[in-house]
Chain A
Amino acid sequence: AQKITQTQPGMFVQEKEAVTLDCTYDTSDPSYGLFWYKQPSSGEMIFLIYQGSYDQQNATEGRYSLNFQKARKSANLVISASQLGDSAMYFCAMRERIPGGTSYGKLTFGQGTILTVHP
């Protein structure tokens, strides 16, 4: 089973409007972290926002917010007031504990969503 699923291969949004990028995840570990990264055409992965599994409130960072619905295992990214520079690939990722232990391991990434912002 896919650990991270991003069902939208591509999304389009008008400049200054809000857009939601979907992410669902699968884990049996009660302690995990969810991350969103932006990857422009230049290739660098840029950290945007983080949500911990025990966090009571949804994370926010400037124009980015994370709509965390734990029971549904979803962690959607909301970008408000879209800008042309937001056009990029967006990845959702999860970090879990290494099986059988208490240490945390790698990030597992979804397939990504390409966001295009139109003027």
Chain B
Amino acid sequence: EAGVAQSPRYKIIEKRQSVAFWCNPISGHATLYWYQQILGQGPKLLIQFQNNGVVDDSQLPKDRFSAERLKGVDSTLKIQPAKLEDSAVYLCASSLAGTRRGTDTQYFGPGTRLTVL
């Protein structure tokens, strides 16, 4: 079974530029998550989708970050314009049952390492 796919793996941009990350979850997984992991910290949720609806985007900086999951499968996370503090690893995860079960395991992709200069 293929895991969570993410691209690109690395991205370097100047501040105020825009950038987009792509994620394809494990086949059949209803729930998709985007996490931001700043160096030396644990990941923090940016947004959670259940199929193509948003469950939680309370920690998404909506003035510059946006995300979509139009057909309930793959997802795109965009930053526009980027700031220096956005330098981090952006992790995508997916899970089968989503919000219904606390036991539902989230499986992570390899991440995209973003550097903003």
Which A residues contact B (CB, under 8 angstroms)? 4, 31-33, 35, 37, 42-47, 50, 52-53, 91, 93, 95-98, 103-107, 109-112
Contact = CB atoms under 8 A, between A and B. Distances in A.
A103 B56 CA distance: 11
B110 interface: yes
Given A45-B93, A47-B105, A103-B55, A111 B41 contact: yes
A106 B41 contact: no
Chain B binding surface, main DSSP class? loop
A32 B102 contact: yes
Contacts of B113: 43
A31 B1 CA distance: 30
Nearest to B102: A33
Given A98-B56, A105-B55, A106-B33, A47 B106 contact: yes
A44 B103 contact: no
B68 to A, nearest CB: 19
Contact of A97 (B44, B45, B89, B102): B102
B111 A31 contact: no
B42 interface: yes
Given A43-B89, A43-B111, A112 B42 contact: yes
Chain A binding surface, main DSSP class? strand
* B: interface residue count bin: 20 to 34
A109 B43 contact: yes
A56 B109 CA distance: 31
- Output the residue of A44, A45, A91, A96 with the most chain B CB within 10 A: A45
Contacts of B110: 42-44
Contacts of B65: none
Interface in B33-72: 33, 40-45, 48, 55-56
